[in-house]
Amino acid sequence: MARYGFQVHASILKMLDLHRNGSDYRAVFDHFDDLMVFDSANQPEKVDFYQIKSQDKGEWTLKAMTAKKGKGKPATFLGRLHHHMATFDNMVSRLVFVSNLSFKLRLADGTETGPDHHVVRSHELHADEVAALKKAVANDAPKPPAVDGCDLFAFERTSLGINDQDKFVKGSLLDYFHKRGGADHVPVISLYETLQGSVFTKTGVTQEFTTEAEFYDRKTLCRADIEAMFARATGGRRFTESWTAIQVDLTAAGMTTIQMLALHNACLRYIRARSAGESAAAAFNAACQDAIVAHPAEIAACTTLPQVAARLGDWVPSDYDHRNGALFVEAFEAIT
């Protein structure tokens, strides 16, 4: 985690910003660059690239960002960012250098940026600074790209620090749900662990992919994926908090205390598995959602939760381990 920690947390915050703004997106982790974000989950026209770097102290100057790191070309942070122009050409919309440290760059009016400048775009820089930037990336290119992307650079200081990164991201998630509504039903810690675990795992995958679907599954998250995580987190919490009311229906259906305890445990196991993104739980959830969408009238005609669960059981044949509990969780969410 030490190698990717800052990169993973900064990527989560970037996705949260996009989600808050209502943007469609697909984030790709540690593939071509630390983070790349397409402007559409399935039919992208533009892409942003992010180099995400953390340091304990100091500030970033143009000289520091164009200092060579290794042999060959490109060998500098900004050179590597600009190198994407050779592959993606006019599809690139932004080349962003992200860090916890501030930037010391000369602006068009002759002043210098400081800690209060959180985003600085290349068109805001002094002509001499732009000229130095162009020269540095040109010297660091194996071959000059057909399209110059120097006007696409942005320098972004994130509020994420070196220490207590998990606390900062959890706080950002809580703030998001307070503004969105429904924060009382969000288990922020488990949601953070699920999101962080997913991004960390995808960041570490280095295999070659033979299909687009495999690439999407192993290396990316899109808006729908994140929204599904949010829905699973809030749905599981609401189910747990409503268990006392659910027991009334179960008792009326003739279920014994021992049977209800076994069912409750199966429900909790399914909620945890689904929140963690386990493939079997995700597949069962998807099958249930398809069935719910296909049979709205039949579900509306049911008068108790066990009736809805029974109907789902008819429509979703499966040998999933926690099937009985899963049916009740999905039935509850279908009618609440």
pLDDT in tens, 100-153: 999 999 999 999 999 999 999 999 999 999 999 999 999 999 998 999 999 999
Residue 201, domain member (yes or no): no
pLDDT in tens, 4-41: 899 999 999 999 999 999 999 999 999 999 999 999 99
Does one domain contain both 36 and 166?
A: yes
Does one domain contain both 33 and 164?
A: yes
58 in Cβ contact with 101 (< 8 Å): yes
Residue 210, domain member (yes or no): no
Residue 73, domain member (yes or no): yes
Residue 206, domain member (yes or no): no
| pLDDT at residue 4, rounded to an integer | 83
Residue 257, domain member (yes or no): yes
pLDDT in tens, 158-191: 999 999 999 999 999 989 988 887 656 677 877 8
Per-chain mean pLDDT for the chain: 92
Assess whether pLDDT exceeds 90 at residue 2: no
Picking from 184, 200, 232, the residue at the C-terminal end of a domain is: 184
Does one domain contain both 176 and 306?
A: no
Does one domain contain both 41 and 115?
A: yes
27 in Cβ contact with 215 (< 8 Å): no
| pLDDT at residue 55, rounded to an integer | 93
Does one domain contain both 38 and 113?
A: yes
Picking from 152, 184, 216, the residue at the C-terminal end of a domain is: 184
Does one domain contain both 38 and 139?
A: yes
Assess whether pLDDT exceeds 70 at residue 210: yes
Residue 195, domain member (yes or no): no
Does one domain contain both 56 and 151?
A: yes
28 in Cβ contact with 36 (< 8 Å): yes
| pLDDT at residue 45, rounded to an integer | 97
Picking from 165, 184, 203, the residue at the C-terminal end of a domain is: 184
Cis check for the bond before 144: say yes or no (omega within 30 of 0).
Answer: no
Does one domain contain both 10 and 112?
A: yes
| pLDDT at residue 271, rounded to an integer | 85
Does one domain contain both 165 and 311?
A: no
Q: How confident is the model at residue 91 (pLDDT cuts 50, 70, 90)?
A: very high
- The number of domains in the chain is 2
Residue 316, domain member (yes or no): yes
Q: Give the type of residue at 294.
A: A
Does one domain contain both 13 and 96?
A: yes
Between 313 and 273, the higher pLDDT residue: 313
Residue 211, domain member (yes or no): no
| pLDDT at residue 278, rounded to an integer | 79
Assess whether pLDDT exceeds 90 at residue 232: no
Q: Give the pair of three-digit tokens for residue 66.
A: 């164009």
| pLDDT at residue 211, rounded to an integer | 94
Does one domain contain both 145 and 286?
A: no
- Of the candidates 237, 322, 246, which has an alpha carbon nearest to the alpha carbon of residue 275? 237
| pLDDT at residue 1, rounded to an integer | 53
Does one domain contain both 178 and 282?
A: no
Handedness of CA 20, 25, 29, 35 (dihedral sign): negative
Range of the domain at 316: 242-335
pLDDT in tens, 291-331: 998 999 999 999 999 999 999 999 998 888 899 999 999 99
Q: How confident is the model at residue 276 (pLDDT cuts 50, 70, 90)?
A: low
